[in-house]
Amino acid sequence: MKTQVSTTINNEPVEFLCQPNESLLEVLRNTLSLTGAKEGCNNGNCGACSVILNGVLVNSCCVLAVETEGASVTTIEGIAPKSGGLHPIQQAFLENAALQCGICTPGFIMASKALLDKNPHPTEHEVRYWLAGNLCRCTGYDKIVKAVLAVAG
């Protein structure tokens, strides 16, 4: 039996039906066609599916979609300005070559946004600590950290 959920996603009211055991990641990708959040591990270890739920960074694979009733969700699709262009973090990732294959990139950008929303001027140590929940097999992390620090600076 499906449950109706009313929530806000990327500042837009959204209603959807889902099974009680469906994850937020499954609903974002399969029901709402918001495919920016990636399924990497599906157990909360890689951070590729990171979104911001009520101001808190979460792994959407570990949140049941029904838990978003009345909540506010921000995905990678919702951070760029409505007028066009890229969010400053997205631009910094491009300028600092902080991406390669792209699987982890949305999660890193969302984690970076959550960090900078909380602490606009983090140290390198704070950036590395905050991003520790996101895994990348391509970049070696240094360029990612440099991109976040470029926005913070």
pLDDT in tens, 101-135: 999 999 999 999 999 999 999 999 999 999 999 99
Give residue 39's pLDDT: 96
Is 83 inside a domain boundary? no
- Within this chain, do residues 70 and 122 fall inside the same structural domain, yes or no? no
Is residue 140's pLDDT more than 90? no
Instruction: Give the angle subtended at the CA of 118 by the CAs of 103 and 124, to the nearest 5°.
Output: 65
Residues 6+ positions from 51 with CB-CB distance below 8 Å = 24, 28, 37, 57, 58, 60, 73, 74, 75, 76, 110
Give residue 10's pLDDT: 98
pLDDT in tens, 45-95: 999 999 999 999 999 999 999 999 999 999 999 999 989 999 999 999 999
Give residue 108's pLDDT: 98
- The domain boundary, picked from 31, 54, 78, lies at 78
- Within this chain, do residues 74 and 10 fall inside the same structural domain, yes or no? yes
Q: Say what the pTM is.
A: 0.96
Read off the CATH number of the domain in which 131 is found: 1.10.150.120
Find how far residue 106's CA is from the centre of its chain. Answer: 6
What confidence category does residue 139 fall into, taking pLDDT thresholds of 50, 70 and 90? Answer: confident
- Structural domain boundaries, residue 57: 3-78
What confidence category does residue 38 fall into, taking pLDDT thresholds of 50, 70 and 90? Answer: very high
Read off the CATH number of the domain in which 49 is found: 3.10.20.30
Does residue 33 contact residue 80 with C-beta atoms inside 8 Å?
A: no
Is residue 25's pLDDT more than 90? yes
Tell me the CB-side half-sphere exposure of residue 82, using CA atoms within 13 A.
3
- Within this chain, do residues 17 and 56 fall inside the same structural domain, yes or no? yes
Give residue 50's pLDDT: 98
